[in-house]
Amino acid sequence: MPSQPAFARAWLHQRATAASAVAEVERAELRRLTDAEALRLADALLGAVPIAEVEQARRTSSGFVEQQRLFSRARR
């Protein structure tokens, strides 16, 4: 007797197939991305929220360093 029902196996297969397809689309998009377009998109992303609306604490740190410090402390 199979360990998973047929619908679950079908869903997992569909998910794996879709993940492969999405990964290929991402690779193709990155291959076609020029430096100029990457800079334009990064500028658009950074300009999405005016700097004056960003909290002062977020202007100097993304929180990633603090997060890693907390993770490191938790491992001890």
Residue 2: per-residue pLDDT: 64
Query: Both tokens of residue 5?
Result: 């029902």
Residues 60 and 51: their CA atoms lie apart, in Å, by 11
Residues 63 and 55: their CA atoms lie apart, in Å, by 12
Please tell me whether the overall predicted TM-score, pTM, comes out greater than 0.75 for this model.
Answer: no
Residue 62: per-residue pLDDT: 76
- What is the residue extent of each domain of the chain? 6-75
pLDDT (tens digit per residue) in 5-53: 989 999 999 999 999 999 999 999 999 999 999 999 999 998 898 888 8
| pLDDT over threshold 90, residue 66 | no
Residue 21: per-residue pLDDT: 97
